[in-house]
Structure 1
Amino acid sequence: MLARSGQQIGLQYESWHKVPKTLKDELLKFIELQFSLEISREYVLKSLGKKWRDYKHDLKTKHFRREQGLQANKDKHPSGTIRWQWEQLIDFWYSRKGEDSKKLGIASRKQQKYTHTSGSKSFARKEKEMETSSGRKVGRLELFRATHTKKDGSHMNMETEQIMEKANEKLAGCQTIDEDMQMVEIEILTQVIGKERCGRVRGLGLGPTPKSYYGVPRNRNSTNSNTQSSEFVEQIQQMEQEMEQMKRERAQERAEHECQCKDYYVYA
Structure 2
Amino acid sequence: MFTNSRYRMCGVSLHNSAEDQLIEPNGSMLESYIGFLVRQHIPITCDNWRSPDLKVGKEKIWSEIQRSFHIDESRQKYCIQLAGKRLRGFRSFLSNKFLKDEEGKFVEAERPMKYAEIISADEWDNFVAKRRNEKFHEVSDINRKRASKPAYPYKKGRTGYARLQQRILAEEKSDATSLPEHVLWKAARVGKDGVVVEAVQTVYDECETLSQTLPSTEVQDCRSVLSRVLNVPEYSGRVRGKGFGVTPSSFYKKPKTKNPTNKEVMETLAELRAQVLQLQNENARYREERCASEAKDTSDRASINCQPKFPEVIIYVIMKLK
TM-score range, shorter chain: 0.5 to 0.7
Q: Map Cα deviations across residues 113-163 of structure 1 (whole Å, 9 max, x no partner).
A: 2232332223222223334421124333322222222355423x5543332
Give the TM-score normalised by structure 1.
0.64
5+ residue gaps, structure 1, are 219-228, 234-239, 249-268
- Note if contact 2:155-2:188 (Cα within 8 Å) is conserved in structure 1: yes
Q: Is 1:9 matched with 2:9?
A: no
2:202 aligned counterpart, secondary structure? helix
Q: Map Cα deviations across residues 55-91 of structure 1 (whole Å, 9 max, x no partner).
A: 222211222158787xx53xx1111132111111111
- Note if contact 1:140-1:182 (Cα within 8 Å) is conserved in structure 2: no
Q: Is 1:161 matched with 2:217?
A: no
CA shift for structure 1 position 205: 1.0
Residues 21 and 109 from structure 1, CA distance in 2 versus in 1: closer, same or farther, beyond 3 angstroms? farther
CA shift for structure 1 position 17: 4.6
Give the TM-score normalised by structure 2.
0.54
Q: Is 1:202 matched with 2:240?
A: yes
Q: 1:54 is matched with which residue?
A: 89
Q: 1:29 is matched with which residue?
A: 63
Residues 195 and 42 from structure 1, CA distance in 2 versus in 1: closer, same or farther, beyond 3 angstroms? farther
- Note if contact 1:16-1:53 (Cα within 8 Å) is conserved in structure 2: no
Q: Map Cα deviations across residues 203-247 of structure 1 (whole Å, 9 max, x no partner).
A: 1111112222223379xxxxxxxxxx8xx99xxxxxx8xxx7xxx
Q: How far apart, in 1, do the equivalents of 2:199 and 2:127 lie?
A: 36
Q: Is 1:40 matched with 2:79?
A: no
Q: Is 1:146 matched with 2:212?
A: no
1:206 aligned counterpart, secondary structure? coil
5+ residue gaps, structure 2, are 1-32, 260-264, 274-322
Residues matched between the structures, number = 216
Q: How far apart, in 2, do the equivalents of 1:34 and 1:112 lie?
A: 38
Residues 68 and 43 from structure 1, CA distance in 2 versus in 1: closer, same or farther, beyond 3 angstroms? closer
Q: How far apart, in 1, do the equivalents of 2:80 and 2:198 lie?
A: 34
Q: How far apart, in 2, do the equivalents of 1:68 and 1:85 lie?
A: 18
User: Is the radius of gyration larger for structure 1 or structure 2?
Assistant: 2
Superposed CA RMSD: 3.9
Q: 2:312 is matched with which residue?
A: none
Q: How far apart, in 2, do the equivalents of 1:200 and 1:27 lie?
A: 24
Q: How far apart, in 2, do the equivalents of 1:126 and 1:136 lie?
A: 14
- Aligned sequence identity (%): 20
Residues 118 and 215 from structure 1, CA distance in 2 versus in 1: closer, same or farther, beyond 3 angstroms? same
Residues 120 and 8 from structure 1, CA distance in 2 versus in 1: closer, same or farther, beyond 3 angstroms? same
